[in-house]
Structure 1
């Protein structure tokens, strides 16, 4: 098997790490004491260390800790430690004389305590290694899921709409409509910008926050034209939104719900939208009066999809609170970008 193959690399990395650790440790022992170096004795001891290390991180953690069987895990870890201490003590007591190693300068009790201490050291190292490796694997899985989600979203949109045909058609409609109605022509331009943003593809899966905010403004402007600018909307941005990246089309879902289900023609109860940034913290807030008459039909898919996308890209880095009262609906979303 080639040494540069992907399957061999982890093995060679681990082997090099153990050899480097053994050389470093034995060098310190030789410099600071008069202990004679015996290769076979040292090899057996390091094999015991490695056995403890890999049994812990490759067997105990996946089989018990991952399944939340913490009591059994604790018992197994203690049993493993006792087994290691037994074999290490046996090696020192029975193998050392066969290799003509001078009698150890400490008692059996001290040897046992030393073995437990040594075993605890490698148990802790294996614990740290398992958590680090697990975190790397989870991060890779999360990134793969994010990439798959974004590719699926873009592929779905592109399968439904041919962008080249769409924008050519909108440009044609704009040219035809402009001489007759400037407002209608402006609506077509806003719609083109909105669709262009929705079909935007970025390899990172994120867009500039300024683009997301511009998309909100375009959506609001289209609806103002639909209702002859009679909608009461208070949209405020606090803080600097430059140079921040965000998952695209995540804020628009909450704004769309306000227009679908809100009563926005009441000057005393305007739709309130607040977007505030403090360093890399984003706080989005919307509050609207609910419309009790006929409402636009909604499947709720948009909100479910948005929740899933937030969970994938911002796990433990976002909080979404939806407050559904008899007369008012409030959304509060905070994200660490």
Structure 2
């Protein structure tokens, strides 16, 4: 009810003002008095005619796609006829001066009919003006909205252009900075491989991992898994230089090497295991199993939970993997992770059935 009053408050105010104006004009100036009930019934008929003509006849007949002018004319004539009939019947029921004499209309009836028809046309003209004013306001509001959308689109395109320019600059910088970095790593390796062979090997493995990560960043969305398997082996070798008592069983089917999947998936899971898992027990090592069976590719990891280490960032890493899987594979990929007894297990499955591998 409150919403209705809010939406139509100006209609109510306008009709109240108009009715008061006509009542004052008729009763005080023209000295014509009538019962309040007469006014109420006739204004109900007139206001009903007003909205039927504006909302239904003109609203439906003047649609932008296919206006039907002939139908509007016919319906308008019919509206005037119905208005006259209802007004006449209302006055008859209220015992007005209009009379009916055995099949013939008296002079009083003809005069009454003329006034009633003119009254109906009078409200139809008001209704037509209301319809076109409302259409104009609606069209103006729509034009303002379209202009606003166009401005927002221009601003959006400018923002995209600016971001693209920034991305190109960042890409050019990224090409320069790694070049300097790899030259530096090569220098460190050459300087230390005789005096500190373990440190030199660590630099060599680190260089390979970084080069692969950069290639993946600017490469395709899916790549053969073979290169990443090699990098997982490099990561394990690098980790064992820093932590000799690190035990992980890495098993994969040979046919998975040619499988094309999202890069940095296997490497990210391995890195999280090394960083957060307890991999110091040779009798209970961490496990990485990569399989491809009937088009279903899977990576499964399992490791002892390291209760003495803060795992901050681990679940963030898994969430990043989940979002990347969703972006690349949508509902074809699933990731489940959680604690099972004293182990933390992660399982990723990707349905590659029908994909080229």
Normalization by structure 2: what TM-score? 0.47
1:281, distance to aligned residue in structure 2 (A): 2.7
Is residue 290 from structure 1 mapped to residue 308 from structure 2 by the alignment?
A: no
| Comparing 249-258 and 188-197, the one that deviates more | 249-258
- Which of residues 232, 250, 258 in structure 2 aligns to 1:216? 232
Cα distance in structure 2, aligned partners of 1:213 and 1:257: 16
Decide whether the 8 Å contact of 2:253 with 2:292 is kept in 1: yes
**How many residues are aligned here?**
187
Q: In 2 relative to 1, CA 204–160 (structure 1 residues): closer, same or farther, beyond 3 Å?
A: closer
Decide whether the 8 Å contact of 1:174 with 1:185 is kept in 2: yes
Cα distance in structure 1, aligned partners of 2:338 and 2:316: 18
Decide whether the 8 Å contact of 2:337 with 2:344 is kept in 1: yes
Decide whether the 8 Å contact of 1:283 with 1:333 is kept in 2: yes
Cα deviation digits, residues 133-165 of structure 1 (max 9, x gap): xxxxxxxxxxxxxxx9xx98xx68965981101
1:293, distance to aligned residue in structure 2 (A): 1.2
Unaligned runs of 5+ in 2: 1-162, 353-357
Cα distance in structure 2, aligned partners of 1:157 and 1:303: 30
> Which residues in structure 2 correspond to 1:221-240 (within 5 Å)?
221-228=237-244, 230-240=245-255
- Which of residues 324, 335, 339 in structure 2 aligns to 1:320? 335
- Which of residues 274, 277, 297 in structure 1 aligns to 2:289? 274
Cα distance in structure 2, aligned partners of 1:310 and 1:227: 31
Which structure exhibits the higher relative contact order, with contacts defined as CA atoms closer than 8 Å and separated by 6 or more residues? 1
| 2:256 aligned partner | 241
Cα deviation digits, residues 103-129 of structure 1 (max 9, x gap): xxxxxxxxxxxxxxxxxxxxxxxxxxx
Decide whether the 8 Å contact of 1:287 with 1:331 is kept in 2: yes
Cα distance in structure 2, aligned partners of 1:313 and 1:181: 43
Cα distance in structure 2, aligned partners of 1:186 and 1:157: 30
Q: In 2 relative to 1, CA 279–244 (structure 1 residues): closer, same or farther, beyond 3 Å?
A: farther
- Which of residues 223, 231, 251 in structure 2 aligns to 1:207? 223
Larger helix fraction of residues: 2
Unaligned runs of 5+ in 1: 1-147
